[in-house]
Structure 1
Amino acid sequence: MKTRLKSLFLAIAVVATTSTFAQKKEIKTSESTINWTGKKVTGSHTGTLKLSKGFLVFDGDNITGGEFVVDMTSLAVTDLEAGKGKEKLEGHLSSDDFFGIANHKNAKLVVTKTKKTDKGYTVAGDLTIKGKTNPIKFILAVNGGTASTTLKVDRTKYDIKYGSGSFFDNLGDKAINDEFELAVSLKM
């Protein structure tokens, strides 16, 4: 019996000293930023979104997972002033023509796979916007306590087709690009 117990304790000690354990690092949402850019034939608009919560999972120095929730009700336009179209554009982007925020208050990204590269990490994940989930890939750079990326999202994959030249003819200068860009900086 003593031999079995010694063997069990020895096995546990070996596993504990040779294994690395995943560490979940919470994102400091108040210090993190999400800036968006949407382009159209006649120009572009910019704005911000806020992160509700998020974390990255590290195994040693390697990212192995993560999850992020964006508060879509925080959507703000930054290139227009109050009383000069800002409220109208925010209302339209919040409507069912775009993000349907009344029924879809959050967007979510779940990291499914990562690969370390010389530029940081190639990240694959599942992005959910407006209740629709699609795979997405992007490069995530990590520098100390900050992780950052710029990624493009094809809005039409999330049933956001308003003003899309891919779905509607004769839009002329009213056409809106299918992709919008997100510039994300995460503080850990």
Structure 2
Amino acid sequence: MMNYPTFATIGLLSLSLTLASCSGRKGQNAVSATDSVATNTITTDQVLSIDTTLSYISWRGFKPGGEHFGKLPISSGVVNLKERTLYAGAVIIRMNGISVEDLKADEGGDKLKAHLESEDFFDVEKYPEARFELTGIPAEGLKLSDAQVLHGNLTLKGVTKNIAIPIASCVLDINEGTYTFTSSVFTINRADWGVKYGSKSFFTGLGDKFINDDIELSFVLVTRSVQQEDILPRS
């Protein structure tokens, strides 16, 4: 179980960080990476845990004439969420749990997974976790009905950048007492986090052996259930 003294010490959501083969195509909803900013502080007022069995990040990468895709697991996470209003949140992503879904394990999937986990890409032995921490939420919180974009610091391979993630939906299931956050597909540039292998941003003369810098990501985050009286506005 993680300790969450402040939002800045943990990490939320995405995430689907990728990786590997990326094609020459441009991804959807490209997001710019800027300098990190102050994060929102997680308080003890209605802290909801992320259900790691139902939450995940999807990734898709491209290279000339091909693509690969898979998922990344969420190892832990929390959000400050009360009466359908978001105040803070963070998730930790287990980088050594990356899966490849377009190839069978014995037909190249295990080899690709090992390459993505190596120093060429995410160096998971040195950086076993990535994290996303929410930023820019006003003191009065962000109503889920208004949550079209979530800003946050993404830390990957020891590099922290601020990005804006487009949100497709934020849904409260009254019967189950759970919230589900779903992002739209968005694209980050891996070069911003120093993921150099096969990148034209760092190397010349690659010919058609390059791997696109753009990584398409999307995520589904589901909270654990809370009591109905805690998630409905009080009269």
Same fold per superposition (TM over 0.5):
yes
1:116, CA displacement in angstroms?
5.5
- Structure 2 unaligned segments of length 5 or more: list them: 1-43, 173-178, 224-235
Query: Which of 136, 158, 161 pairs up with 1:131?
Result: 158
Bigger proportion of residues as strand = 1
1:25 & 1:105 partners in 2: Cα distance?
A: 24
Higher share of residues assigned helix: 1
1:147 to 166, 181, 199: 181
Per-residue deviation at 1:117?
8.2
Shift of 1:33: 2.1
In 2, Cα distance between the equivalents of 1:96 and 1:182?
21
Q: 1:55 and 1:182 mapped to 2: Cα distance?
A: 20
Q: Counterparts of 1:179 and 1:119 in 2: how far apart (Å)?
A: 28
Q: Identity rate of aligned residues, in percent? A: 35
What letter corresponds to residue 146 of structure 1 in structure 2?
A: T
Count of residue correspondences: 168
* Equivalent in the alignment of 2:33: none
State the shift of 1:43 in Å.
1.3
Distance verdict in 2 for CA 1:118–1:57, change over 3 Å: closer
Paired with 1:182 and 1:29, the residues of 2 have a C-alpha distance of: 18
TM-score, length of structure 1 as denominator length? 0.82
Structure 1, unpaired ranges of 5+: 1-20
1:121 correspondence with 2:148: yes
- Using the alignment, how far apart are the partners of 2:77 and 2:212 within structure 1? 29
Matches within 5 A, 1:21-36: 22-36=45-59
What are the superposed Cα offsets for residues 59-106 of structure 1, whole Å, 9 maximum, x if unpaired? 432212110000111011111112211111111101111000011110
Q: CA RMSD, aligned part only? A: 1.9
Structure ID, larger Rg: 1
